[in-house]
Amino acid sequence: MENKNIHSDQDAAQLKALGLTSHFERTMSFWENFSLGFTYLSPVVGVYSVFAMALKAGGPPMFWNYFLVGIGQLLVCLIFGEVVSQYPISGGIYPWSLRLVGKKWAWMAAWVYAWALFTTIAAVAVGGSPFLSQLLGIEMSNSLSIWVAVAMIAFTTLLNVSGTKLLARVAMFGFICELLGAIVVGGYLLIFARHQPFSVLFDTFHFGKGTDYLPAFLASSVAAMFCYYGFEACGDVAEETPNAGVAIPKSMRMTIYIGGGAATFVCLALILAHPDLASAVSGVDADPVGTTLKSALGLTGFRMVIGVVMISFISCLLSLQAAASRLLFSFARDGMIFGSKQMSKLSPNTKVPVAALIVTGIIPAFIASIGHFLQDAVNTIISFAAIGIYIAFQMVIVGAIWARFKGWRPSGSFTLGAWAWPINIASLIFGLGAIANMLCSDRAMVITTLIVILSGLTYLMVGQPHQKK
């Protein structure tokens, strides 16, 4: 209890020095904070949602992207760790960018990140509908799947407004179920149901070899990129986590290590246990995940696994909404967005930003409902979800470089010391390369990215929100 009080006093003093007073409850333990990042990253959701798309884009060698993207995102994570250790403020991307660069830069970073989160919530909900259909053993039309996705978003919104304690408990439960499910199911597939040799991981099928294969490999990397964000959510709830400057950089890194490792393991198991990879690569098998699990586990075992998968989807949605709502709260606390007066308020009972949470339910539900008019709703919605996150991440990375040029010396509990500059530059190179790759791989990404950026710039220039406080 004494240590808890000491940390509470230190956290309050650190925020006071930054000109803030927090009214959140610091009830989220280190493991619960890590669980939030893990369930946001959600290896099962990430891999299962885009596995078919990745195989069709690049064949089995797409597996190696999980290592390459993981290393790149770890570099980004290390820079985030330095920043959050000094600025442990709710909302993450926005307050970090604000203090590294300034109001206009922070406003645009938050605008892009918010829409990326909204589309990610919609993508996860829409991606979860087919698994619920399989769990119940019923066929769902595209329209019904979209309404199920909307219902999932509504359900997690209700859970989130119940408070930080429930959020932390559900995140912890989701983490345990998902990690055990990934290890047990993946292990079973590799030991008892493997159909493919390990050499298939180098089989490019009809995509060509050597440099001819590179475009397909890069196109398939979008799947790994979709899996490797979520660690920043640990920082989004910094004001709800004791000893945040020490705990959050560590929980971020653990999210990459454990979450990324689990995603890589799940992907490996699904590839090697698929009975006919040629049909999955060609698209004849439109549901290679279902094919693999049914072949290995039978219908009953398959539905048991899908039950765990649905827990993963719900906990992932819960964590995503929590991150998005804290971003909106932080944005609104500075009067930077319409509806700031309402979204900057915490419930007197649950100590969470209820209005911000409702917004993070309504907007993604609307985005998901657009899927009624789309042939491939999940892939279309994902087209901005991933790139928006990466753009927002790079705005923090660029901000850190700018601040270093201006003389910033990180003073938090976690610093990179002499490695700061090399890691910062390497993370920038990786991030810009990832963004360029995604833009080249999907024209829809170019259109959605331009819409979000141009609308944000218009709002910024016309509304002048950065001047209101």
SS3 assignment, position 299: helix
Give the contacts of 329 (CB within 8 A, at least 6 positions apart): 90, 91, 343, 344, 346, 353, 356
Distance CA 428, CA 394 (A): 7
Alpha helices in 228-376 (DSSP H): 233-236, 244-254, 260-273, 277-282, 288-333, 340-343, 354-370
pLDDT 10s per residue in the chain (469 long)? 445 555 566 878 888 888 877 778 888 899 999 998 888 888 888 888 889 989 999 999 999 999 999 999 999 999 999 999 999 988 889 999 999 999 999 999 999 999 999 988 988 888 888 888 888 878 877 778 888 889 999 999 999 888 888 888 888 898 898 888 889 999 999 999 999 999 999 999 888 777 789 999 998 998 888 888 889 999 988 888 899 999 999 999 999 999 999 999 999 999 999 999 999 999 899 899 989 999 999 988 888 888 888 888 899 899 999 999 999 998 888 888 888 888 988 888 888 899 999 999 999 998 888 765 555 555 556 567 788 899 999 999 999 999 999 999 998 899 999 999 999 999 999 999 999 988 887 777 788 888 889 998 998 888 877 666 5
The answer to whether 174 and 35 are in contact (CB under 8 A) is yes
Q: CB atoms < 10 A from the CB of 214, how many?
A: 12
Instruction: Report the distance separating Cα 190 and Cα 264, nearest Å.
Output: 13
Tokens coding 252: 């971020």
Q: Are 150 and 125 in contact (CB under 8 A)?
A: yes
Q: Which positions ≥6 away from 119 have C-beta within 8 Å?
A: 364, 367, 381, 382, 384, 385, 388
Query: What dihedral do alpha carbons 111, 114, 52, 227 form, nearest 10°?
Result: 100
User: What secondary structure letter does DSSP report for 465?
Assistant: G
Cβ distance 285 to 295 under 8 Å? no
- Is the separation of the CB atoms in 273 and 292 below 8 Å? yes
Neighbours of 468 (CB within 10 A): 12
pTM of the entire predicted model? 0.90
Q: How far is CA 33 from the centre of its chain?
A: 14
Residue ranges of the alpha helices (H) in 375-463? 377-405, 420-441, 443-463
Residue 92's nearest CA partner among 233, 242, 230, 241 is: 233
Comparing C-alpha atoms, which of 51, 45, 60, 56 is closest to residue 291? 51
Buried b (16+ CB within 10 A) or exposed e, 357-371: bbbbbebbbebbbeb
Q: Exposure string (b/e) for 220-243, b if CB count within 10 Å is 16 or more?
A: bbbbbbbbbbbbbbbbbbbbbbbb
CA angle 223, 271, 430 (to 5 degrees): 30
CA angle 225, 88, 390 (to 5 degrees): 20
